[in-house]
Amino acid sequence: MNECYGKYFVLNGELVPQENFDSSLVYEGESVYEVIRIVNGIPVFFNDHIARLESGVRFRQKDMLGDLNVLISDFSLLLKSDNKQNINIKLVFNYSGGKNSRIVYFIEPLYPSDEQYANGVKGILYFAERKNPESKLINHRLRSDIYHRLILENAYEALLVNRCNRITEGSRSNIFFIRDNTLFTAPSQNVLSGITRMHLIEICAENDIRVVYECIDAASLQLYESVFMSGTSPVVLPFNMIGSTAFNTGHWLIPLLRKLYWEKAETSMDIFAGKI
């Protein structure tokens, strides 16, 4: 699968043909990035993603390589170059040997099917932990190792297990467990707090759905009725199995949270009326 998907990408504000894309722009040096979903040609929760990007850049003691207006202009330039209405865009700030680059490009959309939303997906346990959950950094080696493990086990997502045998997050998602109509998820300081996760937690507060913040022991999976992941592409996607433990994919909270999330997402898109 090509890293850059589509006819063009944007490099430091300039539109460049896709065949000139070099993965070293992303994977050499240090990169801070965001993946933003585009629905009907409009970014979803754009301001939240940029705020998290800015926080990650500050944490790494780097400079922002473009303000909000510059980034809106980059997105607009890319979207107008290719008529893609429903896709993900990756925004990367790359710091490599004193040469800084701002790259904006389409990535191939891998959204769950209706069948996967209804019947769930398989998960595996993977013993690893994120070194710096405060910022979204590219770890090419870890990502590659997990990708190959998922292929070998015909699984959709890996749940990361730390040295204390506690589940923290997914390799590209946040994780929620359900028991007695209560959600259990890791404390924010232990994970990369995803934008989807943030809004799901807000939705729970608005609808009197209880959330407990704790990392679940990997040995106690069978104590939970249902498990789902959250993220930019899956949104709210249930697991039917993690390892050898099966789960209920039809818990009433799962479709409700997905519905309320999309209602909130639509509101976030209103700010781009006439801008992109």
Q: Which tens digit of pLDDT belongs to each residue from 90-131? A: 999 999 978 899 999 999 988 999 999 999 999 999 998 776
Task: Say if residue 14 is in the same domain as residue 91.
Answer: yes
Shared-domain flag, residues 102 and 120: no
Cα separation, 237 vs 240, whole angstroms? 10
pLDDT at 140: 67
Whole-number pLDDT of residue 275: 65
User: Which CATH number fits the domain that encloses residue 261?
Assistant: 3.20.10.10
155: containing domain: 114-265
pLDDT (tens digit per residue) in 217-265 = 999 999 999 999 999 999 999 999 999 999 999 999 999 999 999 999 9
Domain presence at residue 275: no
Same domain for 254 and 138: yes
CA angle 125, 127, 133 (to 5 degrees): 105
Instruction: List, in order, residues 6 or more apart from 133 with CB less than 8 Å away.
Output: 169, 189, 190, 191, 192, 193
The pTM of this model reads 0.91
- Tell me the pLDDT band of 164, cut-offs 50, 70 and 90: very high
| pLDDT (mean) for 22-40 | 92
* Domain shared by 66 and 135, yes or no: no
Residue pLDDT, tens place only, 120-140: 999 999 998 776 655 555 566
Place of tokens 């303000």: 67
CA neighbor of 82 nearest in space, from 2, 25, 4: 4
The total domain count for the chain is 2
Structure tokens at 138: 């590219």
